[in-house]
Structure 1
Amino acid sequence: MSDLLEARHISFSFGGLQVTRDVSFKLAAGDRVALIGPNGAGKTTLVNLITGDIAPSEGRFFMSGEDITACSIPQRVRRGLVRSFQTTRLFANLTVADNVALAIMQRRGLTRRLLSRATDLPEVKAEWSEILGHLGLLGLASRKIVELAYGQQRLMELAIGLALRPKVLLLDEPAAGVPHDETPRILEAINRLPPDIAVLMIEHDMDLVFKFARRVMVLAAGRLIFEGSAAQVTADHEVRRAYLGSYADARRTA
């Protein structure tokens, strides 16, 4: 079976500045991969390249062996490439159920209709109920997004992602802005994602990274300098120098 997602020799230059430098990697079904690196390393730029927000200067992207480099963002989403963002992008004055129902309707290509009626369509309601129940949010279905705590809003980002039926899910700092004592809820929700989805997560919370990741990729100055297990990454001299520093020392002596 071919990999779900492959980046092959991806580079991106903006003006005279090379932001991404010859990056190659693969994601297979069930992968749980963290992408880490210092600020300015080019992590979000790489995710923007993967999702089609920007086009690479060089290199190609493939999904299940099919070249998607020229595909638009909606075309990639239809193929199962879905992304969450550092900040929530939800409809604040709509309910939790309405937000997930909209994503379901988008995926299914349903014709435009009154949202209040579409949310109650049996096939749509069954799906949003299952997704919210999976993430422990079903009891909040009738609440407006603006009424939710920020941690609950981040969980809603995951709900929207699941509603789009991803094969590959890109999580851009899913715990950003969430109080530290609430991050276990984010991790629990991620761990409960369907096991066949490939998940690539950008995150600065290293405790969350090492609890989540089976594989870690490290980006520095736009270049992929390491790819391996969490245990291997803390022992790698170049990674320690470029990013982990004292955190790696603390893990080795803990």
Structure 2
Amino acid sequence: MSISTVSQSAFSFAYDLAFQISPIILNGGIVANSLGGMMPIIGLTGQLAALAQGVLSGNNEPFARFVPAPGSTLVANTVATYPFANQFVAANAVIKQPKNISLVMYAPVQDTGGYLTKLAIFEALRSSIESHVAAGGTFHIATPAHIYLNCLLNNITDVTSGEMGKQQMVQFQWDFFQPLVSLSDTQSAQNSLMSKLSGGQQISPSGLAGTSIWSSAATAIGSAAQGAAQGINGITAAVNNFVAQ
């Protein structure tokens, strides 16, 4: 085998691994404190050893392959329809929308022993995915056109068609949703003012030198109650003075 052939095989394998064999990466969740916080989906199918031994040489097929489903979103915007002050503003009122991405997982039984192990693999996969989602984990999705980061999983649905022959439950569609704002985005967007609001610290309003405003609800309620009590005392004193006269 020539060097160029080996290089082509290596590149082909790298492409298949990234976009077909394991395009789903678990982020955070059940792997937040291990494996660098991320793990490829193939780590949940128990096929890592078999993949390393046989796929590169073409002697072994992975447990499953993933293909992007038609209809995935690359750009999603909505033009606002509420009234505007002028036409120039209305023409530029485009609102960004979340993106949707779906992958179809092909997992046919490839040998006689596969019928015995398929159920066990799928049960382990389902349980791990549910635990990952429950732990607040997200997913990175790799496609040839775009890398979707920090996606949420909506559904895994059996979409097996009659073309698969006698085998049942072979095709599964994974529906993901990429929200506009992820948890990391909200943490980085929290500026010093928001930090003060969260911590109940004093805020000095612009243009009001020497004035401090307490930000937390508890202190705000306390300040209001104190002011009300002072006002009541003042009213009481005024009434007493009037009665005494």
| TM > 0.5 fold call | no
TM-score category, normalised to shorter length: under 0.3
**Greater relative contact order (Cα < 8 A, sep 6+):** 1
Give the TM-score of the pair, scaled to structure 1. 0.21
Q: Which has the larger radius of gyration?
A: 2
